[in-house]
Amino acid sequence: MRKKTTIHDIAKELNTTAATVSRALHDHPSISVATKELVRQTAVRLNYRQNKLASSLRSGRTHTLGVIIPSAEISFFGSVVHGIERIARRHGYSVLLFQSNEDPACEAEGIEALLQAHVDGIIASVTKETTRYHHYLEVKQRRIPLVLFDRVNDSLEVPSVVIDDYKGAYLATMHLIEQGYKRIAHISGQQHIKIFNDRLRGYADALRHAGFPVEDDLIAYGKVSVESGRHCADRLLSITPPPDAIVAVEDFTALGAMQSIKSKGLAIPREIGLIGFANEAFSSYITPSLSTVDQQTIKMGEEAAQLFMELGKGKEGNPPPLRKIVLEPVLMIRESSKKTGS
Amino acid sequence: MRKKTTIHDIAKELNTTAATVSRALHDHPSISVATKELVRQTAVRLNYRQNKLASSLRSGRTHTLGVIIPSAEISFFGSVVHGIERIARRHGYSVLLFQSNEDPACEAEGIEALLQAHVDGIIASVTKETTRYHHYLEVKQRRIPLVLFDRVNDSLEVPSVVIDDYKGAYLATMHLIEQGYKRIAHISGQQHIKIFNDRLRGYADALRHAGFPVEDDLIAYGKVSVESGRHCADRLLSITPPPDAIVAVEDFTALGAMQSIKSKGLAIPREIGLIGFANEAFSSYITPSLSTVDQQTIKMGEEAAQLFMELGKGKEGNPPPLRKIVLEPVLMIRESSKKTGS
DNA sequence: ATGAAAGCGCTAACAG
DNA sequence: CTGTTAGCGCTTTCAT
């Protein structure tokens, strides 16, 4: 078992040629069932395994899907990747994962690396700090299928999967209103990220529809992190009169806000209501457990991968229609927002 | 920019050959500075990028490092991967990540996939359920450098990085004793996993050294999960007299135990002390914050990658000595174990 | 239904 | 210092 067996070895063994062996192994229609069977047996016997490098070099396809996520430490992304992997595997693709660490430079490097690895397509969620999209444009120009999810950018005009962030924030805010909270603040994120802006609009519209004023003072703009959540909440709680509930742009921000609220000795949900966004793993662990908005992560990943598979089918010539999938957000009501105890 | 430029294009442009271009691009010593510069400029001008597939096919090396972890949702592993990536990148390697989902079959598939991808080496942490190691043995037989971390298996005789799990559990237990807890229980994991057994021994020895009895009743064997932690704690708390502190084999188990304790209306740390193991991200978020043992994750990853780099150097002939690196555990004292309030 | 031949893009002897 | 030559292992026309 010292030297690796190749299709030539199999061919020699059977007094045939490499071409036949290759075709047999690929279940090519113009090969007799008999030889197919023979080839397969010999392949097993000689412990043959395909050299994907050679195959890819020749065919130009690697059956590999590149995925770029900001961080694997955010369980949301880990979960989406699961969904992607499931569909990918089902179609014979493997997944090459790259973390951008929320750094646009690193993100560009990642794309470069994936292109060099000759991935057949890229599925990505952009960095919070990304403002220029030249690296993504290059992917498009090279005609490599590109799909975005969650943190998307419409100007790129690529297929994408998101949840209805506007609606999610709307539902979250409405829920707090129904619970009897009267002065609801919002901690938002960078406005150039579409989903954060959508959530802000959802929050504002819910207030308006319920006949509440939308006060600029009650909206804090942060950087979407535990730290930033804490600072923003500190600021919000210091205004007079203070808010009696907070809609956070996502769960880590909500966690920071929770720390701030606790440190001031205020009771959640009795004195202050709190709701997050993302349904991060920790949100159900903490005390009080955090109400939040679930984003259907697995499904999001599956849809994104599915979108890629469809792109591949759009054979040269007829460009496939630009599909944007919008999933429904699901309100997860836990302790942090249950003022009425219902 | 329709067709990709190859070294032949550059060669043609400069009236030289592909070989020279290749060497120039690789900074080969026997190429004049002048031509090197010329080649490099033309490469940039023609927007050349190396086809790694072809390069790897020819050279047999991919400059890719395969990493297998049980789950990306355990922040411990995510963090170790960070450490690995840092060192890998520094040496010009990229990282191909594979999740085994704690499933030995999936783990075997992953190894197979990495071998097919022709990775230059594999760094792995084995599944909790892995009892047979044939897939890892195949890696060894194929002379692919293999390094294990955290969940290691000594019978494989490969380089590895772990922390001193025995000492970690010893320190954790001793800390509880110092806090004045008198009846300290332990929730352990699958005994065929070395680190779980080491922690059990550390717990037991700490008790002995402090003159406490080691009671079999006070040791619960679980499967290392939130669920299992809850069940084990339920059982431990129902014996008479019940324990007044618990050392959990890792943080998710501790989390389950915390839920169990809370559900019985017992106060942590006043009535029951609790300490985990791993310093998972959530451990500082929860209430009360969880005391635990930090495993120096980043360093563990860095050391593992470093070990791989050294293996590569062990040129044919002199097999490098089998190195096993043991890192020091660091006690993280938070609220859940501070009985004295000191 | 199978074979022959021609590379995919690159690297590495071996010459000169 | 640079060119020549020969593939790495596989796929894919084009013949037969």
Q: pLDDT tens for residues B31-72?
A: 989 999 999 999 999 989 899 999 999 988 899 999 999 987
A102 φ, ψ (degrees, to nearest 5):
60, 25
Distance (Å) from the C-alpha of residue B155 to the closest C-alpha of chain A? Answer: 23
The model's pLDDT over A101-127, given as tens digits with 9 standing for 90+, comes to 899 999 998 998 888 888 999 999 999
CB B195 within 8 A of CB B163: no
Burial of B44-67, coded b for 16+ CB within 10 Å and e otherwise, reads eeeebeeebbebbbeeeebebbbb
Q: What angle do CA B191, B197, B203 make, to 5 degrees?
A: 135
> In the prediction, which pLDDT does A313 show?
62
User: What residues of chain A have any CB closer than 8 angstroms to a CB in chain B?
Assistant: 1, 49-54, 56-57, 62, 72-73, 75, 78-79, 81, 85, 94, 96-97, 99, 113, 115-118, 141, 255, 262, 281-282, 285-287
More confident residue, A154 or A290: A290
User: What residues of chain B have any CB closer than 8 angstroms to a CB in chain A?
Assistant: 1, 49-54, 56-57, 62, 72-73, 75, 78-79, 81, 85, 94, 96-97, 99, 113, 115-118, 141, 255, 262, 281-282, 285-287
- The HSE-up count of residue A157 (CA atoms within 13 Å, CB side) is 6
CB B330 within 8 A of CB B288: no
B32 CB neighbours strand C below 7 A: no
| Residue among A219, A209, A245 nearest A339 (CA) | A245
CB A134 within 8 A of CB A141: no
User: What is the CA A106 to C1' C7 distance in angstroms?
Assistant: 36
Q: Which residue of B has its CA nearest to A286?
A: B286
Q: What pTM does this model have?
A: 0.85
More confident residue, A313 or B241: B241
> In the prediction, which pLDDT does A342 show?
58
> In the prediction, which pLDDT does A4 show?
83
Kindly give the confidence (pLDDT) of every residue in chain B, 342 residues in length, as a single tens digit, with 9 standing for 90 and above: 456 899 999 999 899 999 999 999 999 898 989 999 999 999 999 989 899 999 999 988 899 999 999 987 788 998 999 999 999 989 989 888 888 989 999 999 899 888 888 899 999 999 999 889 999 998 988 889 999 999 998 898 999 999 999 999 999 999 999 999 999 999 999 998 999 999 999 999 999 999 999 999 999 999 999 999 999 999 999 999 999 999 999 999 999 999 999 999 999 999 999 999 999 989 998 889 999 999 999 999 999 999 999 887 644 445 677 899 999 999 999 999 998 865
Q: What angle do CA A231, A234, A236 make, to 5 degrees?
A: 110
Average predicted confidence (pLDDT) for chain B: 92
Length of chain A counted residue by residue? 342
For the ranges A148-152, A232-236, B108-112, which has the lowest average pLDDT? B108-112
Q: Which residue of B has its CA nearest to A100?
A: B82
Q: Which residue has the tokens 């804090």?
A: A220
Structural domains of chain A in order of their starting residue, each with its CATH number? 7-50 (1.10.260.40), 61-163+297-327 (3.40.50.2300), 165-295+331-337 (3.40.50.2300)
Residues 6 or more apart whose CB falls under 8 angstroms from that of B203 comprise B169, B170, B172, B173, B184, B186, B188, B247
Query: What's the rounded Cα separation, in Å, for the pair B212 and B202?
Result: 14
> In the prediction, which pLDDT does A314 show?
47
Which residue of A282, A284, A334 to mutate against B (max B Cβ within 10 Å)? Answer: A282
> In the prediction, which pLDDT does A117 show?
83
Looking at A74-192, list the stretches that DSSP marks H as alpha helix, in order from N- to C-terminal side: 75-90, 104-116, 134-141, 165-178
Query: What's the rounded Cα separation, in Å, for the pair A46 and A53?
Result: 20
User: What is the CA A51 to C1' D9 distance in angstroms?
Assistant: 7
> In the prediction, which pLDDT does B92 show?
87
Judged against a pLDDT cut of 80, whether residue A317 lies above it is answered with: no
R_g (Cα) of chain A, nearest Å = 26
R_g (Cα) of chain B, nearest Å = 26
Average predicted confidence (pLDDT) for chain A: 92
Q: Is B223 helix (H, G, I), strand (E, B) or coil?
A: coil
| Residue among A316, A304, A288 nearest A161 (CA) | A304
Q: Is B186 helix (H, G, I), strand (E, B) or coil?
A: strand
| Residue among B213, B187, B285 nearest A286 (CA) | B285
Query: What's the rounded Cα separation, in Å, for the pair B82 and B302?
Result: 8
Dihedral class, residue B35 (left if φ above 0, else alpha if ψ from -120 to 50, else beta): alpha
B100-108 long-range contacts, Cβ below 8 Å, gap at least 24? B100/B68, B100/B69, B100/B70, B100/B71, B100/B127, B101/B70, B101/B71, B102/B70, B102/B71, B102/B127, B102/B128, B102/B129, B103/B127, B103/B129, B104/B129, B104/B130, B104/B131, B104/B132, B107/B68, B107/B135, B108/B135
Q: Which residue has the tokens 């809850």?
A: B230
Burial class of residue A60 in the structure, from the number of CB atoms within 10 Å of its CB (0-12 exposed, 13-18 middle, 19+ buried): exposed
B8 CB neighbours strand C below 7 A: yes
> In the prediction, which pLDDT does A112 show?
87
**Percent over 70 (pLDDT), chain B:** 96
Distance (Å) from the C-alpha of residue A29 to the closest C-alpha of chain B? Answer: 26
Q: Is B210 helix (H, G, I), strand (E, B) or coil?
A: coil
Q: What mean pLDDT do residues A197-224 have?
A: 97
User: What is the CA A64 to C1' C14 distance in angstroms?
Assistant: 38
> In the prediction, which pLDDT does B2 show?
54
H or E stretch at A35: helix A33-45
Judged against a pLDDT cut of 70, whether residue A98 lies above it is answered with: yes
List beta partners, residue A99: A69
